[in-house]
Amino acid sequence: MENQEAFGFTLLVNKPLEWTSFDVVNKLRYAAKHITGRKKIKVGHAGTLDPLASGLMIICVGKHTKSIESYMGLDKQYTGTFKLGATTPSYDLETEVDAAYDLPANDPEELQSVARQFVGTIEQVPPAFSAKKIDGKKAYELARKGKEVNMKSAQIRIERFDLDCTNFPEIAFTLDCSKGTYVRSLAHDFGKAVGSGAHLTRLKRTKIGDMLLENAYGIDEAREAIQEAWNCFSNKH
């Protein structure tokens, strides 16, 4: 087909738990190559999610990969849980608990008051177990080898940080934040702020800009969506 290079498609995908963002891209790239009959086709995402997180990803196919940068700066919304009373080196469940702490009082109003202290523009230090580059290497590669990693703080913005303490000491939350926010670090810092420790136990991205998780495709549905987009493109060309 003469105009194959003009083919492009953007779709919302619900990343499954324990899949890497690369797993999602790789799966859909393979599908796109098979559907279009092309040996090479660009497929990319507009913002990674950790393997232990699920939820919304923006996937761009073909010429739409040129639009990835326009999505990267959009605000995000997350829901999830963190557990008070213990920390882990990765700030989530990737690593084992390394320290235990006394729990703060189970006072929802006081805990929400502490959460409000994080709302606004703040400085945040990313976790050592992250993909941030340190001297050309990803921080997590050094951290997993037991090497000391000095992370630099970055400015982020928190619009909303609402807590539900029904299952204390596990705290459910809804978070609206800017790009570059590490929710694991927020959980860790919240634990410090209440005189205890905390680590992230569940995370789901529910919104990117105006795009909602409820409108996202599952992996198999995403493949079907690419097929439909290709059929529509082929009929026009």
pLDDT digits (tens, 9 = 90+) for 74-94: 999 999 999 999 999 999 999
Beta strand pairing call for 53-62 and 198-208 = parallel
**Share of residues in the chain with pLDDT > 70 (%):** 89
Each residue of 1-50: pLDDT tens digit?
446 678 889 999 999 999 999 999 999 999 999 999 988 999 999 999 98
Domain 76-208 homologous superfamily, CATH: Pseudouridine synthase (3.30.2350.10)
Q: Identify whether the C-beta of residue 35 lies closer than 8 Å to the C-beta of residue 225.
A: no
Which residues partner with 191 through β-bridges?
A: none
Question: Of the residues 23, 50, 162, 220, which is catalytic?
Answer: 50
CA-to-CA dists, residue 171 to 93, 152, 180, 199, 213, angstroms? 15, 27, 22, 10, 22
- Determine the pLDDT at residue 181: 95
Copy the structure tokens of residue 207.
């919104």
Residues 64 and 218: their CA atoms lie apart, in Å, by 20
pTM (predicted TM-score): 0.91
Q: Which residues of the chain have pLDDT under 70?
A: 1-4, 129-149, 237
Domain ranges of the chain: 4-73+211-236, 76-208
Query: What's residue 141's pLDDT?
Result: 64
Cα distances (Å, whole numbers) of residue 122 to 21, 94, 132: 27, 26, 19
Question: What is the structure's pLDDT at 152?
Answer: 83
* pLDDT number for residue 127: 83
CATH number assigned to the domain with residue range 4-73+211-236, chosen from the 4 options 3.40.190.10, 3.40.50.10700, 3.40.1350.10, 3.30.2350.10:
3.30.2350.10
Topology agreement, domain 4-73+211-236 and domain 76-208: yes
**Model pLDDT, residue 4:** 63
Active site residue 220: no
- Residue 1 has a pLDDT of 41
